[in-house]
Amino acid sequence: MQRQIPLFLTSLVGLTMLLYYFIPHPLIATPGHFFEDSVIIVVAFAIVLGSANVLKINGEAVLRRGKDWPYKAILLLSMFLMIGIGLTDGPARYLTPESRFNWMYDTFYASMQSSMFALLAFFIASAAFRAFRIRNVDAALLAVAAVVVMLGRVPIGNLLSSGLPQSIQFPEMANWLMEIPQNAAKRGILVGAALGVMSTGLRIILGVEGSFMRGGEGR
């Protein structure tokens, strides 16, 4: 009962969305539109659930004075501050340029997220020195392709090869590499992945794949 009905619901919704692609008749299209609109709302609740889970995990750590609990207390304070400001600003104002919520977004969220990702540049350089090993023909091919693309996409590559015939200048070679061999392999991966997604989707719709229904058993 706890598994069968949800699995049936999965199949029903999945089959409706599948048929909706082919059949515009209101018998299929009307429930299809309803499921589209419903999923938008349910997924939004799922994201809020994620925030609530952050609260639960870090709240428990603070209460039992776990590892790094002062930092987790700051985490929770900042979360409540953000939620409080967002709720008081209201739906009409909260993302306008002059709002406090937007200021918090610009000052904290945008700057820190950008900085976190900017760190990757340093690690990719370090990894290029310490981990990129050309041990065989395959790795050499990978390295050559990487070098051609890295030089072909930036002005310095254009400058270095400007004296050569156009067909073997770095930008031209990079374009050819992207359009022919790279594209062919990527298309092969795309087609293979599409077959995988289709088979998994059909398994879910036919009720063969039920592993996502695990979890939620009463403890």
Partner 1 sequence: MIAFLAKLREMDRRWIFLLVWILVMIPLIFPLRLPLAVSPPVKQYYDEIETLQEGDIVLLSADFDPASAPELVPMLNASLTQLARRKVKIVADCLWPGGPPLLEEGLRVVLEEEFGYVYGEDFVNLGFKEGREAVMLSMGNSIPGTFPVDFRGRNVADMPLMRRAQNLTSVTLLVNISAGYPGTKEWVQQASSRFNLRIISGCTAVSAPEYYAYLQAEQLFGLLGGMAGAAEYENLVGISGPATKGMDAQSSVHIFIILCIAMGNLTFWAARRQEQR
Partner 2 sequence: MTLSTEWGVWIAAILTLFIFSFLYKDNPLYKLAEHLFVGISAGYYAVLQLWSVIWPNCVVPVVSGEDYWMVIPGVLGVLLFSRFVPPAAWVSRYSLAVIIGAFAGIKTTGHAQADLVTQVQSTLLPILPMTMGDGSIVTWPTAINNFLFVLGLITTLIFFFFSTEQKGGIKVAARTGVWYLMVSFGAAYGFTVMARISLLIGRFQFLLDDWLGVVRF
Task: Figure out which of the listed residues 79, 178, 204, 213 binds partner 1, where binding follows CB under 8 A.
Answer: 178
Residue type at 29 in one-letter notation:
A
Q: Which of residues 65-104 bind partner 2 (CB under 8 A)?
A: 68, 71-72, 74-83, 86-87, 90-91, 94, 101, 103-104
Site membership for partner 2, residue 105 (CB under 8 A) = yes
51 DSSP assignment: H
Q: Which stretch binds partner 2 (CB under 8 A): 59-67, 158-166, 177-185?
A: 177-185
CA distance 42 to 84: 23
Residue 61, binding choice from partner 1, partner 2, none, Cβ under 5 to 8 Å by partner class: none
Burial of 13 (0-12, 13-18, 19+ CB in 10 A): middle
Q: Which stretch binds partner 1 (CB under 8 A): 53-61, 63-71, 78-86, 141-149?
A: 141-149
For every residue of 121-185, DSSP letters joined together read HHHHHHHHHHT----SHHHHHHHHHHHHHHHHTSHHHHHHTTTS-GGGSHHHHHHHHHHTHHHHH
Distances, alpha carbon 145 to alpha carbons 10, 142, 174, in Å: 44, 5, 8
Instruction: Name the residues that contact partner 1, by CB under 8 A.
Output: 21, 33, 36-37, 39-40, 43-44, 47, 90-93, 95-97, 102, 105-106, 109-111, 113-114, 116-117, 121-122, 124-126, 128-134, 143, 146-147, 150-151, 153-159, 171, 174-175, 178-179, 182-183, 186-187, 190
